[in-house]
Amino acid sequence: MASEKPMVAVTCTAPVNIAVIKYWGKRDEDLVLPINSSLSVTLHQDQLKTTTTAAISKDFTEDRIWLNGREEDVEQPRLQACLREIRRLARKRRSTGDEDPAALGLSYKVHVASVNNFPTAAGLASSAAGYACLAYTLAQVYGVESDLSEVARRGSGSACRSLYGGFVEWQMGERADGKDSIARQVAPESHWPELRVLILVFRAESVVPARMAEMARCVQERDFPGFAQLTMKDSNQFHATCLDTFPPISYLSDTSRRVMLLVHRFNAHHGRTKVAYTFDAGPNAVVFALHDTVPEFVAAVRHCFPPESNGDKFLKGLPVPPVPLSDELKAALDVDPTPGGVKYIIATQVGPGPQILEDPRAHLLGPDGLPKPAA
Protein backbone atom coordinates (compact mmCIF):
# COMPACT_ATOMS: atom_id res chain seq x y z
CA MET A 1 0.00 0.00 0.00
CA ALA A 2 1.38 3.38 -0.93
CA SER A 3 0.10 5.25 2.13
CA GLU A 4 2.54 5.50 5.05
CA LYS A 5 0.07 3.80 7.41
CA PRO A 6 -1.79 0.79 6.06
CA MET A 7 -5.33 -0.07 7.02
CA VAL A 8 -5.75 -1.27 10.61
CA ALA A 9 -8.39 -4.03 10.80
CA VAL A 10 -9.70 -6.07 13.73
CA THR A 11 -12.27 -8.89 13.68
CA CYS A 12 -14.20 -10.05 16.74
CA THR A 13 -17.21 -12.20 17.57
CA ALA A 14 -19.89 -11.60 20.21
CA PRO A 15 -22.68 -13.76 21.64
CA VAL A 16 -26.46 -13.63 21.79
CA ASN A 17 -27.95 -13.26 25.28
CA ILE A 18 -31.37 -14.38 26.49
CA ALA A 19 -32.92 -12.41 29.32
CA VAL A 20 -34.47 -14.50 32.08
CA ILE A 21 -35.44 -11.34 33.97
CA LYS A 22 -36.36 -8.96 31.19
CA TYR A 23 -35.74 -5.28 30.61
CA TRP A 24 -39.18 -3.68 30.63
CA GLY A 25 -38.51 -0.22 29.25
CA LYS A 26 -36.37 2.89 29.43
CA ARG A 27 -36.26 5.73 31.92
CA ASP A 28 -34.06 7.73 29.51
CA GLU A 29 -34.54 7.24 25.78
CA ASP A 30 -31.37 9.07 24.66
CA LEU A 31 -28.95 7.40 27.08
CA VAL A 32 -30.86 4.08 26.90
CA LEU A 33 -31.22 3.75 30.68
CA PRO A 34 -33.58 1.01 31.91
CA ILE A 35 -36.38 1.29 34.44
CA ASN A 36 -35.27 -1.99 36.05
CA SER A 37 -32.26 -4.27 36.33
CA SER A 38 -32.22 -7.41 34.17
CA LEU A 39 -30.40 -10.74 34.13
CA SER A 40 -29.46 -12.82 31.11
CA VAL A 41 -27.78 -16.02 29.99
CA THR A 42 -25.04 -15.70 27.35
CA LEU A 43 -25.41 -18.37 24.66
CA HIS A 44 -22.46 -20.25 23.18
CA GLN A 45 -20.89 -18.78 20.05
CA ASP A 46 -20.36 -22.21 18.52
CA GLN A 47 -24.06 -22.03 17.66
CA LEU A 48 -25.00 -18.32 17.64
CA LYS A 49 -22.77 -15.30 17.14
CA THR A 50 -22.19 -12.03 15.34
CA THR A 51 -18.82 -11.53 13.60
CA THR A 52 -17.67 -7.95 12.98
CA THR A 53 -14.65 -6.48 11.22
CA ALA A 54 -13.82 -2.80 11.80
CA ALA A 55 -11.08 -1.11 9.80
CA ILE A 56 -9.61 2.40 9.83
CA SER A 57 -7.45 3.96 7.13
CA LYS A 58 -6.43 7.45 6.17
CA ASP A 59 -7.63 6.54 2.66
CA PHE A 60 -11.27 6.13 3.73
CA THR A 61 -13.38 9.18 2.88
CA GLU A 62 -16.44 8.36 5.01
CA ASP A 63 -17.72 5.98 7.69
CA ARG A 64 -19.48 3.00 6.08
CA ILE A 65 -21.23 -0.14 7.38
CA TRP A 66 -22.37 -3.43 5.83
CA LEU A 67 -24.72 -5.83 7.64
CA ASN A 68 -25.04 -9.38 6.31
CA GLY A 69 -23.56 -8.23 2.99
CA ARG A 70 -25.79 -5.17 2.44
CA GLU A 71 -24.62 -1.61 2.92
CA GLU A 72 -26.75 0.18 5.52
CA ASP A 73 -27.23 3.82 6.43
CA VAL A 74 -24.31 4.79 8.66
CA GLU A 75 -26.23 7.86 9.83
CA GLN A 76 -28.79 5.92 11.86
CA PRO A 77 -28.81 7.58 15.30
CA ARG A 78 -27.93 4.52 17.40
CA LEU A 79 -24.95 3.66 15.24
CA GLN A 80 -23.76 7.27 15.37
CA ALA A 81 -24.14 7.28 19.17
CA CYS A 82 -21.85 4.20 19.40
CA LEU A 83 -19.24 5.71 17.09
CA ARG A 84 -19.30 9.04 18.93
CA GLU A 85 -18.94 7.37 22.32
CA ILE A 86 -16.01 5.11 21.33
CA ARG A 87 -14.19 8.03 19.67
CA ARG A 88 -14.78 10.14 22.78
CA LEU A 89 -13.24 7.40 24.96
CA ALA A 90 -10.31 7.09 22.55
CA ARG A 91 -9.68 10.86 22.65
CA LYS A 92 -9.90 10.81 26.45
CA ARG A 93 -7.34 8.00 26.59
CA ARG A 94 -5.07 9.87 24.23
CA SER A 95 -5.23 13.06 26.31
CA THR A 96 -4.08 11.10 29.38
CA GLY A 97 -0.97 10.09 27.46
CA ASP A 98 -1.63 6.31 27.33
CA GLU A 99 -0.64 6.43 23.68
CA ASP A 100 -1.29 3.32 21.69
CA PRO A 101 -0.34 2.99 18.02
CA ALA A 102 -3.98 2.19 17.23
CA ALA A 103 -5.08 5.52 18.71
CA LEU A 104 -3.24 7.36 15.94
CA GLY A 105 -6.22 6.79 13.65
CA LEU A 106 -8.67 8.95 15.58
CA SER A 107 -9.27 11.25 12.64
CA TYR A 108 -9.61 8.32 10.22
CA LYS A 109 -12.96 7.10 8.92
CA VAL A 110 -14.06 3.58 9.80
CA HIS A 111 -15.50 0.77 7.66
CA VAL A 112 -17.50 -1.92 9.46
CA ALA A 113 -18.82 -5.25 8.17
CA SER A 114 -20.95 -7.50 10.35
CA VAL A 115 -22.61 -10.89 9.81
CA ASN A 116 -24.88 -13.06 11.98
CA ASN A 117 -24.75 -16.84 11.73
CA PHE A 118 -28.44 -17.06 12.70
CA PRO A 119 -31.65 -15.64 11.20
CA THR A 120 -31.84 -11.97 12.21
CA ALA A 121 -35.61 -12.02 12.66
CA ALA A 122 -35.69 -15.29 14.60
CA GLY A 123 -36.81 -13.53 17.78
CA LEU A 124 -33.22 -13.71 19.02
CA ALA A 125 -31.42 -10.64 20.26
CA SER A 126 -29.48 -9.99 17.06
CA SER A 127 -29.21 -6.27 17.84
CA ALA A 128 -27.67 -7.12 21.24
CA ALA A 129 -25.01 -9.37 19.72
CA GLY A 130 -24.50 -6.88 16.88
CA TYR A 131 -23.94 -3.78 19.01
CA ALA A 132 -21.85 -5.67 21.59
CA CYS A 133 -19.65 -6.90 18.75
CA LEU A 134 -19.45 -3.40 17.24
CA ALA A 135 -18.46 -1.83 20.57
CA TYR A 136 -15.90 -4.53 21.34
CA THR A 137 -14.34 -4.45 17.85
CA LEU A 138 -14.18 -0.63 17.69
CA ALA A 139 -12.55 -0.62 21.13
CA GLN A 140 -9.76 -2.87 19.80
CA VAL A 141 -9.28 -0.67 16.71
CA TYR A 142 -9.17 2.58 18.69
CA GLY A 143 -7.21 1.22 21.66
CA VAL A 144 -9.98 1.78 24.22
CA GLU A 145 -9.74 -0.34 27.38
CA SER A 146 -12.46 1.16 29.61
CA ASP A 147 -15.86 -0.43 30.39
CA LEU A 148 -17.86 -0.68 27.15
CA SER A 149 -21.33 -0.97 28.71
CA GLU A 150 -22.19 2.60 27.74
CA VAL A 151 -20.98 2.24 24.15
CA ALA A 152 -22.95 -0.98 23.56
CA ARG A 153 -26.01 0.30 25.46
CA ARG A 154 -26.25 3.34 23.19
CA GLY A 155 -26.82 0.95 20.29
CA SER A 156 -29.19 -1.49 21.98
CA GLY A 157 -29.88 -1.62 25.71
CA SER A 158 -29.51 -5.36 26.07
CA ALA A 159 -26.24 -5.29 24.07
CA CYS A 160 -24.28 -4.42 27.23
CA ARG A 161 -25.19 -7.88 28.56
CA SER A 162 -23.50 -9.54 25.53
CA LEU A 163 -20.13 -8.05 26.59
CA TYR A 164 -19.72 -10.89 29.10
CA GLY A 165 -20.06 -14.65 29.12
CA GLY A 166 -22.02 -16.78 31.56
CA PHE A 167 -24.78 -15.11 33.57
CA VAL A 168 -24.91 -11.33 33.33
CA GLU A 169 -26.71 -8.57 35.21
CA TRP A 170 -27.42 -5.19 33.63
CA GLN A 171 -27.66 -2.89 36.64
CA MET A 172 -30.26 -0.18 36.13
CA GLY A 173 -28.13 2.35 38.05
CA GLU A 174 -29.31 5.48 39.85
CA ARG A 175 -27.39 8.32 38.22
CA ALA A 176 -29.01 10.63 35.69
CA ASP A 177 -25.91 10.45 33.46
CA GLY A 178 -26.13 6.63 33.35
CA LYS A 179 -22.50 6.08 34.38
CA ASP A 180 -23.58 3.39 36.85
CA SER A 181 -25.94 1.61 34.43
CA ILE A 182 -23.49 -1.13 33.50
CA ALA A 183 -23.32 -4.84 32.87
CA ARG A 184 -21.46 -7.19 35.19
CA GLN A 185 -20.99 -10.94 35.28
CA VAL A 186 -22.96 -12.74 38.00
CA ALA A 187 -21.34 -16.13 37.29
CA PRO A 188 -18.98 -17.38 34.53
CA GLU A 189 -19.98 -19.79 31.77
CA SER A 190 -18.20 -22.66 33.60
CA HIS A 191 -20.45 -22.18 36.67
CA TRP A 192 -23.42 -24.37 35.61
CA PRO A 193 -22.11 -26.83 33.01
CA GLU A 194 -25.28 -28.98 32.97
CA LEU A 195 -27.53 -26.13 31.78
CA ARG A 196 -28.73 -26.40 28.18
CA VAL A 197 -30.68 -23.97 26.00
CA LEU A 198 -33.00 -24.99 23.15
CA ILE A 199 -34.23 -22.39 20.69
CA LEU A 200 -37.45 -23.48 18.99
CA VAL A 201 -37.69 -21.57 15.70
CA PHE A 202 -41.31 -21.36 14.62
CA ARG A 203 -42.89 -21.24 11.27
CA ALA A 204 -43.65 -17.62 10.48
CA GLU A 205 -46.80 -16.50 11.82
CA SER A 206 -42.90 -4.19 39.06
CA VAL A 207 -42.30 -7.14 40.84
CA VAL A 208 -38.93 -7.12 39.13
CA PRO A 209 -36.46 -6.06 41.89
CA ALA A 210 -37.37 -8.95 44.22
CA ARG A 211 -37.24 -11.26 41.25
CA MET A 212 -33.71 -10.06 40.38
CA ALA A 213 -32.31 -11.01 43.81
CA GLU A 214 -34.14 -14.33 43.73
CA MET A 215 -32.88 -15.09 40.18
CA ALA A 216 -29.29 -14.27 41.17
CA ARG A 217 -29.67 -16.69 44.11
CA CYS A 218 -31.07 -19.43 41.82
CA VAL A 219 -28.08 -19.02 39.47
CA GLN A 220 -25.54 -19.06 42.33
CA GLU A 221 -27.10 -22.18 43.85
CA ARG A 222 -27.78 -23.83 40.48
CA ASP A 223 -31.40 -24.18 41.64
CA PHE A 224 -33.05 -25.26 38.39
CA PRO A 225 -36.70 -25.40 39.59
CA GLY A 226 -36.42 -21.88 41.08
CA PHE A 227 -34.59 -20.56 37.98
CA ALA A 228 -37.19 -22.18 35.68
CA GLN A 229 -40.27 -20.89 37.49
CA LEU A 230 -38.96 -17.31 37.73
CA THR A 231 -38.01 -17.34 34.04
CA MET A 232 -41.53 -18.41 32.99
CA LYS A 233 -43.29 -15.99 35.36
CA ASP A 234 -41.22 -13.06 34.09
CA SER A 235 -41.86 -13.98 30.45
CA ASN A 236 -45.60 -14.41 31.06
CA GLN A 237 -45.89 -11.09 32.85
CA PHE A 238 -43.90 -9.29 30.15
CA HIS A 239 -46.23 -10.62 27.45
CA ALA A 240 -49.36 -9.97 29.53
CA THR A 241 -48.22 -6.34 29.81
CA CYS A 242 -47.71 -6.17 26.04
CA LEU A 243 -51.30 -7.37 25.58
CA ASP A 244 -52.47 -4.87 28.18
CA THR A 245 -51.26 -1.90 26.14
CA PHE A 246 -53.65 -0.20 23.74
CA PRO A 247 -53.60 -1.24 20.99
CA PRO A 248 -52.25 -4.54 22.32
CA ILE A 249 -48.89 -5.88 21.15
CA SER A 250 -49.00 -9.63 20.61
CA TYR A 251 -45.63 -11.26 20.17
CA LEU A 252 -46.90 -14.76 20.93
CA SER A 253 -48.39 -17.03 18.29
CA ASP A 254 -50.59 -20.12 18.55
CA THR A 255 -47.40 -22.19 18.35
CA SER A 256 -45.93 -20.17 21.26
CA ARG A 257 -48.96 -21.02 23.37
CA ARG A 258 -48.78 -24.70 22.38
CA VAL A 259 -45.13 -24.80 23.48
CA MET A 260 -46.09 -23.21 26.84
CA LEU A 261 -48.74 -25.90 27.31
CA LEU A 262 -46.26 -28.62 26.32
CA VAL A 263 -43.74 -27.37 28.92
CA HIS A 264 -46.33 -27.22 31.72
CA ARG A 265 -47.69 -30.71 30.90
CA PHE A 266 -44.16 -32.14 30.63
CA ASN A 267 -43.33 -30.72 34.08
CA ALA A 268 -46.64 -31.88 35.58
CA HIS A 269 -46.02 -35.41 34.27
CA HIS A 270 -42.65 -35.48 36.05
CA GLY A 271 -44.03 -33.85 39.21
CA ARG A 272 -41.33 -31.14 39.18
CA THR A 273 -40.07 -28.27 37.05
CA LYS A 274 -37.62 -29.81 34.58
CA VAL A 275 -38.07 -27.37 31.67
CA ALA A 276 -38.70 -23.60 31.38
CA TYR A 277 -39.69 -21.39 28.43
CA THR A 278 -39.15 -17.72 27.82
CA PHE A 279 -40.13 -15.52 24.87
CA ASP A 280 -38.52 -12.26 23.84
CA ALA A 281 -39.96 -9.74 21.38
CA GLY A 282 -40.70 -12.47 18.88
CA PRO A 283 -42.72 -15.68 18.84
CA ASN A 284 -39.86 -18.20 19.04
CA ALA A 285 -39.42 -20.06 22.30
CA VAL A 286 -36.18 -20.32 24.24
CA VAL A 287 -36.25 -23.37 26.49
CA PHE A 288 -33.94 -24.05 29.45
CA ALA A 289 -33.34 -27.54 30.82
CA LEU A 290 -30.55 -29.55 32.41
CA HIS A 291 -28.63 -31.76 29.97
CA ASP A 292 -30.16 -35.05 31.16
CA THR A 293 -33.70 -33.73 30.43
CA VAL A 294 -32.96 -32.53 26.88
CA PRO A 295 -33.33 -35.81 24.91
CA GLU A 296 -36.79 -36.56 26.30
CA PHE A 297 -37.97 -32.96 25.84
CA VAL A 298 -36.75 -32.85 22.23
CA ALA A 299 -38.63 -36.12 21.64
CA ALA A 300 -41.74 -34.47 23.13
CA VAL A 301 -41.35 -31.49 20.76
CA ARG A 302 -41.01 -33.88 17.80
CA HIS A 303 -44.16 -35.67 18.97
CA CYS A 304 -46.20 -32.44 19.29
CA PHE A 305 -44.71 -30.72 16.20
CA PRO A 306 -43.76 -33.49 13.77
CA PRO A 307 -41.10 -32.20 11.32
CA GLU A 308 -42.59 -31.84 7.85
CA SER A 309 -39.71 -32.76 5.57
CA ASN A 310 -36.45 -31.82 7.27
CA GLY A 311 -36.37 -34.66 9.80
CA ASP A 312 -32.58 -34.83 9.54
CA LYS A 313 -32.14 -31.03 9.79
CA PHE A 314 -34.72 -30.54 12.55
CA LEU A 315 -32.01 -30.42 15.24
CA LYS A 316 -29.03 -28.09 14.86
CA GLY A 317 -26.13 -27.33 17.19
CA LEU A 318 -25.18 -29.66 20.04
CA PRO A 319 -25.95 -33.35 19.42
CA VAL A 320 -28.97 -34.75 21.25
CA PRO A 321 -29.36 -38.56 21.33
CA PRO A 322 -32.79 -39.79 20.19
CA VAL A 323 -34.93 -41.42 22.88
CA PRO A 324 -38.41 -42.97 22.68
CA LEU A 325 -41.33 -41.26 24.42
CA SER A 326 -43.18 -43.34 26.97
CA ASP A 327 -46.87 -43.94 26.39
CA GLU A 328 -47.54 -42.30 29.78
CA LEU A 329 -45.85 -39.07 28.68
CA LYS A 330 -47.63 -39.12 25.30
CA ALA A 331 -50.92 -39.45 27.16
CA ALA A 332 -49.96 -36.64 29.55
CA LEU A 333 -49.10 -34.30 26.67
CA ASP A 334 -52.57 -34.94 25.22
CA VAL A 335 -52.10 -32.92 22.03
CA ASP A 336 -53.27 -32.94 18.45
CA PRO A 337 -49.91 -32.77 16.67
CA THR A 338 -49.17 -29.59 14.67
CA PRO A 339 -46.98 -30.77 11.78
CA GLY A 340 -44.27 -28.26 10.88
CA GLY A 341 -45.24 -25.81 13.65
CA VAL A 342 -41.62 -25.80 14.81
CA LYS A 343 -39.24 -25.43 11.84
CA TYR A 344 -36.13 -26.53 13.73
CA ILE A 345 -34.42 -26.54 17.13
CA ILE A 346 -30.99 -25.05 17.88
CA ALA A 347 -29.40 -26.83 20.86
CA THR A 348 -26.78 -24.77 22.67
CA GLN A 349 -25.34 -24.01 26.11
CA VAL A 350 -23.98 -21.14 28.19
CA GLY A 351 -20.92 -19.57 26.58
CA PRO A 352 -18.17 -16.95 26.86
CA GLY A 353 -18.17 -13.24 26.03
CA PRO A 354 -16.70 -11.54 22.94
CA GLN A 355 -13.56 -12.96 21.33
CA ILE A 356 -10.87 -11.48 19.09
CA LEU A 357 -10.14 -13.53 15.95
CA GLU A 358 -6.38 -13.34 15.39
CA ASP A 359 -6.37 -14.99 11.94
CA PRO A 360 -6.36 -12.20 9.30
CA ARG A 361 -8.24 -14.56 6.97
CA ALA A 362 -11.24 -14.10 9.26
CA HIS A 363 -11.57 -10.41 8.24
CA LEU A 364 -14.85 -9.63 6.49
CA LEU A 365 -13.24 -6.62 4.77
CA GLY A 366 -10.54 -6.98 2.11
CA PRO A 367 -7.34 -4.90 1.87
CA ASP A 368 -9.36 -2.23 0.00
CA GLY A 369 -11.65 -1.81 3.01
CA LEU A 370 -14.66 -3.27 1.15
CA PRO A 371 -16.53 -6.49 1.99
CA LYS A 372 -14.87 -9.60 0.63
CA PRO A 373 -17.02 -11.38 -1.97
CA ALA A 374 -19.05 -14.20 -0.43
CA ALA A 375 -17.18 -17.48 -0.74
pLDDT tens-digit readout, 300-338: 999 999 998 766 789 999 999 999 999 999 999 998 999
- Rounded CA-CA distance 224/337 in Å is 29
Q: Please say if the pLDDT value at position 1 is more than 50.
A: no
- Mean pLDDT of all residues in 274-292: 91
* Length in residues, the chain: 375
Q: Please say if the pLDDT value at position 196 is more than 80.
A: yes
Which range among 21-30, 69-78, 209-218 shows the weakest confidence by mean pLDDT? 209-218
Q: What is the DSSP letter of 148?
A: -
Which range among 62-76, 99-113, 338-352 shows the weakest confidence by mean pLDDT? 99-113
Q: Please say if the pLDDT value at position 5 is more than 70.
A: no
Between 255 and 207, name the one with better pLDDT.
255
pLDDT tens profile 22-58: 988 899 988 999 999 999 999 999 999 999 999 999 9
Tell me what pLDDT residue 370 has: 95
- Rounded CA-CA distance 326/331 in Å is 9
Cβ distance 276 to 219 under 8 Å? no
Tell me what pLDDT residue 245 has: 76
The confidence band for 101, taking pLDDT boundaries of 50, 70 and 90, is: low
Q: What one-letter code names the amino acid at 227?
A: F
Tell me what pLDDT residue 240 has: 84
How many percent of the chain have pLDDT more than 90?
73
Cβ distance 175 to 120 under 8 Å? no
- Mean pLDDT of all residues in 273-282: 89
Tell me what pLDDT residue 22 has: 92
Tell me what pLDDT residue 3 has: 44
Q: Please say if the pLDDT value at position 159 is more than 90.
A: yes
Q: What is the pTM of this model?
A: 0.88
How many percent of the chain have pLDDT more than 70?
92
Cβ distance 85 to 139 under 8 Å? no
Closest CA to 280 of 22, 15, 16: 22
Tell me what pLDDT residue 373 has: 86
- Mean pLDDT of all residues in 72-95: 92
Residue spans of beta strands (DSSP E) within 68-125: 70-72, 109-116
